[in-house]
Amino acid sequence: MLGLVLLLVSTTHAETYTVKVTGTPDGRTEQSIGATEGCPRFDINELADAGLGNYRLWAGMSRLEPVDDDGVYGEPTIAQIKAAPEIINWAAWDAQFYRPAYDWAPNCKPVVPSSLYDILYALQKRGIQAVVTLRPVDDQGQPAWAARLAPPRTPADENEWWEHVFATVYWVNVQHKLAVHDWQVLNEPDSGRGQGWGGTLDEYLHFTQLTNDAIQYVYTTYLSGQPFRLYAPVAKSMNTWVQESLSQNGAMIDMIDWHNYGTSHYDNAVQAWAWSASYPRIGLPRELYISEWGSYRSAYDFAHALTYAKLLIDHSRDMAGHVDGSAIFSWYDWQTLKGVIGADGTKTPTYYALRLMIRGLQGGKLRYPVVHDIPSQVDIQPIAAVDEASHMLYVEVLHQTRQAQTIAVVLSPPHTASGPTATLRQFAQGSYDVVQGTVAIAEGRMTFTLPGLSIMQVIVPLASP
Tens-digit pLDDT profile for residues 32-49? 999 999 998 999 999 999
Determine the pLDDT at residue 14.
Answer: 57
In CATH terms, 10-26+367-461 corresponds, of 2.60.40.1180, 2.60.130.10, 3.40.50.300, 2.60.40.10, to 2.60.40.1180
In CATH terms, 31-362 corresponds, of 3.30.1330.40, 3.20.20.80, 3.30.300.30, 3.10.20.520, to 3.20.20.80
> How far, in Å, are 81, 360, 448, 457, 460 from residue 418 at the CA level?
60, 18, 19, 18, 8
Written as tens digits, the pLDDT of the chain (465 aa) is 333 233 333 333 359 999 999 999 999 999 999 999 999 899 999 999 999 999 999 999 999 999 999 999 999 999 999 999 999 999 999 999 999 999 998 888 888 889 999 999 999 999 999 999 999 999 999 999 999 999 999 999 999 999 999 999 999 999 999 999 999 999 999 999 999 999 999 999 999 999 999 999 999 999 998 999 999 999 999 999 999 999 999 999 999 999 999 999 999 999 999 999 999 998 888 999 999 999 988 899 999 999 999 999 999 999 999 999 999 999 999 888 899 999 999 999 999 999 999 999 999 999 999 999 999 999 999 999 999 999 999 999 999 999 999 999 999 999 999 999 999 999 999 999 999 999 999 999 999 999 999 999 999 999 987
CA geometry: angle 396, 386, 256, nearest 5 deg: 80
Give bridge partners of residue 408 from the DSSP assignment: 18, 447
Is the peptide bond preceding residue 382 cis, with omega within 30 degrees of 0?
no
| Cα atoms in the 13 Å half-sphere on the side-chain side of 380 | 30
Distance between CA 356 and CA 436 in Å, rounded? 13
Distance between CA 365 and CA 359 in Å, rounded? 10
CB-based contacts of 75, cutoff 8 Å, min separation 6: 159
pTM for this predicted structure: 0.95
Determine the pLDDT at residue 142.
Answer: 96
Domain ranges of the chain: 10-26+367-461, 31-362
**CB distance 458 to 407 below 8 Å:** no
Pick the closest to residue 125 from 58, 176, 170 (CA basis). Answer: 176
